[in-house]
Structure 1
Amino acid sequence: MSRFVLYRLAACVIPLVMLGCAQQPEAPKPSADPFRISYTVGPCYGTCPVYQVAVQADGYTYFNGERHTQVEGPRQRKNQTGAFQAVEARLAEWQPAMGVTQSTQDCEPRATDLPQYAVIWTNQAGEKAVLEHDTGCHSDNARELTAALKSLDGLLGVDAWVREAP
């Protein structure tokens, strides 16, 4: 091979090698904002409904009735636009930071035979924030949280799956 051919070959190969070593842009990081909010309800010392509900940012709601529900087993429905954001806004005041599990604070006076809620916010990276709430807690803040949690079934359209309509 002549020198001329070697120089031309080097002139073509060196820029390609340098491009391969160039720093690649970082892949976008997953959002810290939740894309799924789920909650479980129950049990209690009686016939309280036991079920799970999950709502996703894409508008789908998933329900699974376990015991004492009108509908047992899994169901899903497509909600109107904004259902996820409405749930997120309704619970924003009580959402712990990602990676934190928090239980109801200020739980006096307390009734011991009422259902428990566990609310889980999950982001795209798989990080979770967990709120555990005892609906037997009767402090002012706990009653507000209980009311907000109980309103979610109607907001997401799963209330008829939980209980018979009056």
Structure 2
Amino acid sequence: MKLIPTAGIMALSLGACVQTGEVTEPTVERISFAVEPCFGFCPDFNLTLDASGEGVFEGENFVAKRGTRNFSASAAEFTAFRERLAPFRPVQSVSYGYDNCDGAVATDMPSVRVTWHDSDGTSTRLDWYMGCFQPGLHDRSDEIYRAWEELPISELVGADEDRASFRPS
């Protein structure tokens, strides 16, 4: 009777399945961020910021500067912006609003839209109508709604106390 060294063969077989080196997650190359109008004087703008620090701001209504403006952010500002938004990134793209909300829904609120664009070419999007009292979002609404404050665009957005004087389009 021949003994087959099965343990050794199995170890070699399993070794062929093991990947060496680290598996890295794709990195965020660009973030698109928008706050959209409410029934009132909420700022209405969108921006896109690359990891390189190059950004484009597009002011619509109730902002100090309307139209398209370029801006630059430091690496620290991009990192702060990315990290402030990170807890809100869903596993897959999702939209919360009147038709998809796990809480009560109020009217006349603004919306936030964030898209994370990764180095592997994929993107993940969060659309949130802030009148949706979505658990995990509603109780931290200012953290996401005001995430733009991590960036050097306050002169473009303007101060809250001046919002009513910024004319809509």
Residues 115 and 136 of structure 1 are in contact (CA less than 8 Å); yes or no, is this contact kept in structure 2?
yes
**Deviation of 1:95 (Å):** 1.1
Alignment coverage as a number of residue pairs: 134
* Alpha-carbon contact 1:59-1:82 (below 8 Å) kept: no
Match of 1:133 in 2: 128
Give the corresponding residue for 2:43: 49
What residue ranges of structure 1 are gaps of 5+ in the alignment? 1-30
Could you say what the CA RMSD is over the residues aligned between the two structures, in angstroms?
2.3
Which 10-residue stretch deviates more, 76-85 or 62-71?
Answer: 76-85
Matches within 5 A, 1:55-134: 55-97=49-91, 100-104=92-96, 107-134=102-129
How many percent of aligned residue pairs carry the same amino acid? 26
Aligned 8 A contact 1:107 1:142 in 2:
no
Gap change, CA 1:165 and 1:134, over 3 Å in 2: closer
Name the structure 2 match of 1:36. Answer: 30
User: Higher RCO, 1 or 2 (CA under 8 Å, sep at least 6)?
Assistant: 2
Normalization by structure 2: what TM-score?
Answer: 0.68
Q: For residues 152 and 56 of structure 1, what CA distance do their matches in structure 2 show?
A: 15
In 1, the alpha carbon distance for the partners of 2:75 and 2:157 equals 22
Find out whether 1:153 has 2:148 as its counterpart. Answer: yes
Superposition deviation, residue 65 in structure 1: 0.3
Which whole-Å CA distance do the structure 2 matches of 1:80 and 1:103 have between them? 30
TM-score, normalisation: structure 1: 0.69
Q: Which has the larger radius of gyration?
A: 1
Structure-2 separation of matches of 1:118 and 1:145: 15
User: 5+ unaligned residues in a row in structure 2: which ranges?
Assistant: 1-24, 162-169
Secondary structure at the counterpart of residue 137 of structure 2 = helix
* Equivalent residue, structure 1, for 2:17: none
